[in-house]
Amino acid sequence: MTTQQQGGEMPRTVFDKHECEALLIHCIDFRFWKALHNFVETTLGIHDYDLLSLAGGAKNFANPTEPFLFETTELNAVISKRLHHIKKIILTNHIDCGAYGGSSKFKNREEEVEFHKAELERAGKVAGEKFPHLEVIKILVSRREDDVDCLVLK
């Protein structure tokens, strides 16, 4: 950092700063992440965020299949907070997630949506307890014909 920057000059590029607004935790599934990133940037207005992509996304806080997945998720959030001073954690799940057994595991779409909403609530509670000073945003990503919808949960 130059003396001018220390004196309050605004960063000229992303490389001139070392802070970001959020940590986005999402699944590795190629079908959903591009639309999710677009939603986070255009709808939520969050352009600078760290990214953690793990199979299952928020599952790793809510209901990890292995302890190391929870530990990895938590550690990355700690590092993001320490190094980049994040103010938010964005947790996401998506319909037809293989880490949960896919859509065929559910009787119908409504049951699957309600399941993922409950998982996001559980993940949000865990994240809120671990990081009480961070805002937690929960997003359910789903398909609508040949498009993707993102729903922010309250």
Residue 66 sits in a domain whose CATH number is: 3.30.1330
Q: Does 110 map to a domain?
A: yes
Number of compact structural domains in the chain:
1
The pLDDT-based confidence of 1 (bands split at 50, 70, 90) is very low
pLDDT in tens, 61-76: 999 999 999 999 999 9
Residue 30 pLDDT exceeds 80: yes
Q: What is the pLDDT of residue 144?
A: 75
- Pairwise pLDDT comparison (88 vs 144), residue with the higher score: 88
The dihedral region occupied by 85, where left means phi > 0, alpha psi between -120 and 50, and beta the remainder, is left
The pLDDT-based confidence of 2 (bands split at 50, 70, 90) is very low
Q: Does 147 map to a domain?
A: yes
Q: What is the pLDDT of residue 146?
A: 77
pLDDT in tens, 91-103: 999 999 999 999 9
| pTM across the whole model | 0.88
Q: How far apart are CA 145 and CA 104, in angstroms?
A: 17
Domain with 67 in it: 26-153
Q: Does 9 map to a domain?
A: no
Alpha carbon 14 to its chain centroid, in Å, reads 21
Q: Does 102 map to a domain?
A: yes
Q: Which residue has the tokens 């309600």?
A: 114
Q: Does 57 map to a domain?
A: yes
